[in-house]
Structure 1
Amino acid sequence: MARRSPRRGGTRRSGMQVSIEGLDELRDQLNNLGTEARAACFRALKASAEAIVDDVQRHVRVNTGNLKRDINARYQNNKLVAEIGWWQHDDDYAKEQEFGTRRIPANPTLLPALERERRHLADRIRAEVRRTMP
């Protein structure tokens, strides 16, 4: 989901980010499974986030190369959350490229990358959890 987020701690945050969160029911069930299963889910989440970053890097419009270079994923392991976006000085330019302006046609890359990866996340989680089970 793309959303506008507030600044934290004086760090400039992108006006656009994608947060990937596990379903609440899945998260509750994983808490009951223990740390190994939770770690497996985090590995799957990280693999999906990295796949989204790679996808954006392949498809983003390149002028100076900043958008391709600066797309990044951040993780909150304790919440099974990955945030993907631009947190550099060019984050406004990233929004303009993603959504377009009156002068710049939209070239969405982040949301399409998320959609392409969405169908793989459940399989990644399933495979990682199965590896941890006896």
Structure 2
Amino acid sequence: MARRSPIRVEIVGMERLRARLDDLTVELKAAARRALEESAEAVRAEAARTVRVDTGNLQRSVKARLENNRLRAEVGWWDADDLYASLHEHGTRRIPANPALGASLEQERARIAARIREQVRRSMR
């Protein structure tokens, strides 16, 4: 029986591949952030469109805010004058619920994956 020699494989361009993968990670994070921004804005706009209107304050004051170093967004009302938004959202004994924010979030939940895919495709071109 003949003795086999060990097989050696050398990958030419491995350092370049590693550098490109590192760049790709940055690009993918940026794509995910763009998708998150789009989704947060879509939720904000839909909540503003569907919130109960009396003076228009809740329409004007709903905001989307993103955390700088994390893929996290919050949409809602944060001003002290807007505490009654929760009463409209969930309802009271006298006010029927009008879930503008919750409904907007549920609509966007179905779209976020497509937004991420599209942003990743754009970044890969």
Q: Same fold (TM over 0.5)?
A: yes
Q: State the Cα deviation string for residues 60-98 of structure 1 (Å, max 9, x = none).
A: 111111110000000013210000010112332000000
How far apart are the structure 2 equivalents of 1:110 and 1:124?
20
Deviation at 1:117, TM superposition (A): 0.9
Moved over 6 A (4+): none
Secondary structure of the corresponding residue to residue 77 of structure 1: coil
Aligned equivalent of 2:73? 82
Which has the larger Rg? 2
TM-score (norm 2): 0.78
d(CA) in 2 for partners of 1:38, 1:72: 23
Give the match for residue 105 of structure 2: 114
Once the 2 structures are TM-superposed, how far is the Cα of residue 133 of structure 1 from its aligned partner? 1.2
Shift of 1:58: 1.0
Give RMSD over aligned pairs: 1.6
Which of 124, 131, 134 is residue 115 of structure 2 equivalent to?
Answer: 124
Q: Secondary structure at the match of 2:97?
A: coil
Name whichever structure is richer in strand by fraction: 1
SS at match of 1:46: helix
Show structure 2 runs of 5+ residues with no match: 1-21
Structure 1 portions without partners, runs of 5+: 1-30
Kept in 2: contact 1:61–1:107 (CA 8 A):
yes
Q: 1:107 and 1:64 mapped to 2: Cα distance?
A: 16
| TM-score, structure 1 as length reference | 0.73
Instruction: Tell me which amino acid in the other structure corresponds to 2:108.
Output: E
Q: Size of the alignment, in residue pairs?
A: 104
Equivalent residue for 2:28, pick from 37, 49, 59: 37
